[in-house]
Amino acid sequence: MTPLAQPLINAITAPTRGVERLNLSHFRCYEIFSVSLDLTPVVLTGPNGAGKTNLLEALSFLIPGRGLRRARLSDVKQQGSDAPWVVSAQLKDEETKIQIGTGLDPDRPESEKRLTKINGEKAKNQSSLAEWVSMVWLTPQMDRLFLEGAQGRRKFLDRIVYGFDAAHAQRLSRYEKALKERTLLLKQGRMDPHWLEGLEETLVNDGIAITVARREVVGQLLMVLRQQEATFPRAELELKGDIETLLEAHSIYECEEKMRTLLAQSRDQDRLIGRCSRGPHKSDLFAIYPEKNQAAALCSTGEQKAMLLSIVMASATLLSVRTGAIPLLLLDEVVAHLDKRRRTALFDAIIKLKMQTWLTGTDVSLFEELQGNAQFLSLKEARLVSKT
């Protein structure tokens, strides 16, 4: 065995939680697909268009939300077929087996709502998935995260927070609903004080809880990032916004009072501009490349990618130790951009992680160092025959 092909770490460290079986039907390019797995990293290889990202996207529907492409549910179904798409997975959580099925509701295909079953029982809504599975991913579309608007960075952070706090998604959706309703009332000139106060109370309570949860996760990410080996440019993170500034200097009770006053005072201004000018929907996640003391947006493409990767790996590290749900890490087309030293460091980190990691790439030779510690799936073959 050449030193390159030698296992990095003995396979004994394999995680005890992850996906054991994945079945897809009428999902994008897959009419029917089925594969059995162990819990070691999964390397998906195949030419462009083989269905690698589609498979990661299928996994991303095991948590609440619209998946890693943020697609409309109706676009996910196999083109040319009227059958609703279904993703079903058998997962292992230490000794327990969990069965999750999710897909387009056949009775309401236009609803953009998923029908989800957990252990055979219909779930009230898809947010209950967060109690069972947590996930973090990195895709090529995220390469521009630091260059584009703050909304993408907030969503990126919120997805990480969902992994630790299943209630975060509900708080956000309540907050956004109240925000829309308040903006509409103000636009219509319906200045009913009781109605507005009620909505603003939701904005205060959920807005502060959202900020506290985000700040806590950013603080923990920072701690992990500072301990990471320096193979990847580390990122210094900071969450900035009105509520964040208030929380620096005041108790939660004082912040509530101040936010209540701010919202009441800004009604006229918000009416004129047609949106709410203060709150966690305006916060931004800043990343600094400490070695150069440079904002991420000014860093080179490769530096930005490496910073993102270190944030994602730090999130994965946190998830692997902190969450009660089964953690999964999805890395789409990550290794092709890394030099050999960084690739080795990444594989080493993945093997040490106590979570099942899914990697994709067109060239299997890039994953040679994972031989013996991962399972390899060539998608050209896998689409035709299941592994078992």
324 binds, among Mg ion, ligand ATP, none (CB under 5 to 8 A by kind): none
Min CB(29)–ligand ATP separation in Å: 3
Tell me the C-alpha distance between 297 and 240, whole Å.
Answer: 16
Min CB(50)–ligand ATP separation in Å: 4
Nearer residue to ligand ATP within complex by CB, 2 or 48: 48
Number of residues near Mg ion (by CB under 5 A): 2
User: For 117-140, b where at least 16 C-beta lie within 10 A, e where not — what string?
Assistant: ebeeeebeebbebbebbbbbbbbe
Min CB(156)–ligand ATP separation in Å: 20
60 binds, among ligand ATP, Mg ion, none (CB under 5 to 8 A by kind): none
Min CB(75)–ligand ATP separation in Å: 6
Which stretches does DSSP call E strand in 234-325? 236-240, 284-289, 294-295
Stretch that binds Mg ion, among 46-54, 221-229, 260-268, 380-388 (CB under 5 A): 46-54
Nearer residue to ligand ATP within complex by CB, 26 or 168: 26
Nearer residue to ligand ATP within complex by CB, 8 or 364: 364
β pairing state of 284-289 and 236-240:
antiparallel
51 binds, among Mg ion, ligand ATP, none (CB under 5 to 8 A by kind): ligand ATP
Smallest CA-to-CA distance from 325 within 170, 136, 157 is with 136
Residues contributing to the site for ligand ATP (CB under 6 A): 28-29, 46, 48-54, 75, 78-79, 362
CA 302, chain centre distance (Å): 21
Stretch that binds Mg ion, among 47-55, 66-74, 241-249, 370-378 (CB under 5 A): 47-55
Phi-psi region of 77 (alpha: psi -120 to 50; beta: other; left: phi over 0): beta
Distances (CA, A) of 328 to 114, 135, 263, 344: 21, 5, 39, 20
Tell me the C-alpha distance between 386 and 388, whole Å.
Answer: 5
53 part of the interface to Mg ion, by CB under 5 A: yes
Contact residues toward Mg ion (CB under 5 A) are 52-53
